[in-house]
Structure 1
């Protein structure tokens, strides 16, 4: 968090609210909400919490958190995941400025960005100012599709973005303002000295898990691809100590998948190593069952393509294991569209996954993103 004395002085007389969670910390590991209490005193009126709750103790997929009182500062906490997905107008009646301090992970389906999107919408409608305290994108500025299609909008994609969007949360706020909220009073406080070409491991910062199943930066690096497994009956490693870095199922034959992977004539496979792995999840899919699969070891984080890697593996598994299934609704408050549809966000790519058509996968992952790159050029804050 990049809170400064100067920022405090500017907003000292305002009544403020803060959207944050337990990963919203400064360089001394002091939570932002404690800094705000110290700085604003009685004018610090409200905390909004995203998915997983203020302390990120709740698990995924519609396991909501509840309104409470934060024990250190005695500040009311309003949950924006579960009882509601956006603030009610009365929450902001006594608020002048809403601050946002959330660590995003560079992926379209990470719900924190959509909680911010809905917050921006409410603040725009009510004429409230928003200040976003920007944070680095842990997986840098690279972009990887598919680009979300209109028919697949949901709470894991309320606005079109590539699956790996390449922006910081502050830049996303600027993009949403440009598209939908032109009159919004928005300020983004930049990260000093930050370059988008840097990955998290090059920043010299400790990793504080932003959500319960991203315990390391390596988990976030593979996440834009491995999160697609949430739409299948493959375990994405929830219930293990290596979520998203491991995957598998009781029906998977390790030697068959590995043989396919080793014979694959694609340069992308050279950036990641698949280590055969057997695990038993303690919760979530296949709880207590022996799962056969792999652990991902990324050898070249710069060239690694998480989405393409997972899609190629998924298609092979879909074609070669009859027990494989795409999961049905509900998923993240969506009652009509299948999880895999809203996660991938592109009908041609989903059809390709299901073997219904052949496509140039690279077109949907990279080549058709020119318009998006042109659109975001005006809101980029970092080189």
Structure 2
């Protein structure tokens, strides 16, 4: 019941049914010859051979195969028959198939995620919030997220006898089920969980999953041949499955439980055609949009299809997921292949990295239930992927378009171009440091001081001081020598602007370069200042700057509620993937600060950019953040700083290595290299810090070498280092203060207990998924 082949994404497969009304001329993807989009037609022709072998071996009576690439159908063909008994009927490309378990992601999970977007369902909510009757026999804490990822502690299938007295009684028996295992500890593929998800949809919307998905998913996309309970015209060209009650099932759901539930269920019952599914697949590839219809936001699609480590497999929210790069990836990095399969012989596989999808539809259960197509579907997917000219991918999808590279404007640049319109006539205080520079290298202090009709009255500085050179616990007030303005330190007696320091001001402006990690204190300074501004009735203006380690990827445990501090200002993950302007929007809303906030946005910045792709000048944001490489390491390696390790402070390359007098670098490097972490290698070293921890002492350690920045995972690497330290040096490595920056008690306890990194990651995936929803509301780019 687990999916190991990239193309055979076929766990236990069950599906759903069609709408009775059928509209004419649904929109279709254009069909082109493979050569037109750089695919090898001769390779694709091998699909004929593979399918014919399946027919010869009686793996299925017939099939339809569709391959889509770059938004076009490059291969669509019908094989064999859609019915052998009671009479032979040829297969056609418009045959309607019982989707079985494809119902789960396409109808049920998609509907649930729409409601998550609307705030009507929360992933972290207990199921019992929506179904109070479910809170019995230890099931009160099972969450929506756990149902979507098949780790809710439920049995795979309850007894068919539970359905003999009608749908209402069947649901009552499901509510009363006992736990099968402890929720959140295992992956057990279950239909029961998706039956419950459909019930949640009905309770939240008043509509069945059939009614809701038809109206809000399939009809907007023009998928008029997709849905539950197909009408007479669609039934007539449906593939026949098996016999039930002395009749052949044609256009009637094969799954016995879905049948007893009236043909409409969360786990099975959907019907569709190859070309309709192609529309859905294309919408998923294009961020939830097709032909002007938006069924999901791009961030929601990414959240659904990213890999969440569950037991020893990866699951999306309703989807099977397989990373292109490594089976060990667990945090939120992009470009994962995803798909699903169905018991009746159907599967869909979608690969965003290659802009490719493969649909294989069969009725392998006809006539006697003995057919088998999993390996066949996998081989077809492999052929399709191999037919792509890899040069065309590289040429058509560069990481950053040449027109955008080296042309990013920061908030201060945009403000200046707009002739300081937002600050006209205002008396302002500016929170900044040495990183507050325009694209041409002029300081924000100087620019605002010289601007006409802008009245810069006061300066404020964060940790490390106005010049960014101090690495001390307290910093006093001072005076800017160039302007003569007083600089109030926000890292001294107070970390919040005082009413006295704000007296006479109309607004506070914030312009500091962040580094992309939760425990980097500049964002805490911003949050404190926002609260102070609100109390004094001042406007708060953020001059936005890039996230230097990109704005796509986010990772690590979300801060526990109640664990907030100056190094953990808000409930965000260790690596947040947001700009300071976006964080300000989040803080203002979620913390109910309600200050009069304005963000002056960046221009020409793309979320996937690292700092070296912006054309902006790197300025060390703090004394020990000396290059972009160190910023990339920081979210994961910085976590270790509160333990008895040197993270390289007092050397030329902080955060690029760790060490201690007690550490055997050769032993640690060997184990880390064997862990197979993507994009990084480990080299044993010795070094002697000239200051900070272990000053003047020889340390054995490990140097980190990034081999591929796009797949490297800093937080996962930091957790793997912690795991290996716990295993190799249990008596020497002190973990007492490790949770200070980690900020998550369950994860801390798991590290101390020696749990593996996949086990540790599984503990925070639910909150990380919920963060995806929260985060999407505040993104500006």
TM-score by length of 2: 0.46
1:166 aligns with 2:577: yes
1:33 aligns with 2:33: no
Equivalent of 1:291, from 689, 699, 702? Answer: 699
Shift, 1:102, TM fit: 0.7
Superposition pairs of residues 242-261 of structure 1, within 5 angstroms: 242-261=653-672
1:347 aligns with 2:766: no
Shift, 1:40, TM fit: 5.1
* Partner secondary structure for residue 647 of structure 2: coil
> Paired residue for 2:641?
230
> Paired residue for 1:209?
620
* Partner secondary structure for residue 270 of structure 1: coil
* Partner secondary structure for residue 131 of structure 1: strand
* Partner secondary structure for residue 114 of structure 1: helix
Q: Looking at both structures, which has the greater relative contact order when contacts are Cα pairs under 8 Å and sequence separation is at least 6?
A: 1
* Partner secondary structure for residue 510 of structure 2: strand
Report the number of matched residues: 366
Cα–Cα, structure 1 residues 367 and 51, in superposed 2: closer, same or farther, change >3 Å?
same
> Paired residue for 1:310?
718
* Partner secondary structure for residue 533 of structure 2: helix
Shift, 1:326, TM fit: 3.0
**Contact 1:70–1:77 under 8 Å retained in 2:** yes
* Partner secondary structure for residue 150 of structure 1: coil
> Paired residue for 1:331?
none
> Paired residue for 1:147?
558
* In 2, Cα distance between equivalents of 1:76 and 1:222: 36
**Contact 2:448–2:454 under 8 Å retained in 1:** no
Shift, 1:315, TM fit: 2.0
CA deviations 1:158-183 (Å, max 9, x no partner) are 21000001100000000011113463
Cα–Cα, structure 1 residues 181 and 13, in superposed 2: closer, same or farther, change >3 Å?
same
**Contact 1:145–1:364 under 8 Å retained in 2:** no
* Partner secondary structure for residue 514 of structure 2: coil
CA deviations 1:29-48 (Å, max 9, x no partner) are 11111111111588211111
1:51 aligns with 2:463: yes
CA deviations 1:85-135 (Å, max 9, x no partner) are 101112111110110001001110000000000000111111100110000
* In 1, Cα distance between equivalents of 2:426 and 2:726: 55
Cα–Cα, structure 1 residues 182 and 230, in superposed 2: closer, same or farther, change >3 Å?
closer
* Partner secondary structure for residue 152 of structure 1: coil
1:12 aligns with 2:410: no
> Paired residue for 1:323?
732
CA deviations 1:210-264 (Å, max 9, x no partner) are 1111010111100000111211111000001101111111111122112212322
> Paired residue for 2:768?
369
Shift, 1:5, TM fit: 4.8
**Contact 1:154–1:342 under 8 Å retained in 2:** no
Shift, 1:274, TM fit: 1.1
Could you list the runs of 5+ residues in structure 2 that have no partner in the other structure?
Answer: 1-411
Shift, 1:366, TM fit: 4.3
* Partner secondary structure for residue 4 of structure 1: helix
Could you list the runs of 5+ residues in structure 1 that have no partner in the other structure?
Answer: 328-337
CA deviations 1:285-306 (Å, max 9, x no partner) are 0000011112211111121111
**Contact 2:688–2:696 under 8 Å retained in 1:** yes
* In 2, Cα distance between equivalents of 1:270 and 1:114: 31
TM-score by length of 1: 0.91
Equivalent of 1:104, from 514, 524, 527? Answer: 514
Shift, 1:357, TM fit: 5.8
* In 1, Cα distance between equivalents of 2:647 and 2:599: 34
**Contact 1:153–1:342 under 8 Å retained in 2:** no
Equivalent of 1:280, from 688, 697, 718? Answer: 688
* In 2, Cα distance between equivalents of 1:40 and 1:212: 34
> Paired residue for 1:334?
none
Superposition pairs of residues 42-81 of structure 1, within 5 angstroms: 43-59=455-471, 63-81=473-491
* In 1, Cα distance between equivalents of 2:709 and 2:565: 30
* In 2, Cα distance between equivalents of 1:197 and 1:138: 10
> Paired residue for 1:138?
548
> Paired residue for 1:332?
none
Cα–Cα, structure 1 residues 219 and 293, in superposed 2: closer, same or farther, change >3 Å?
same
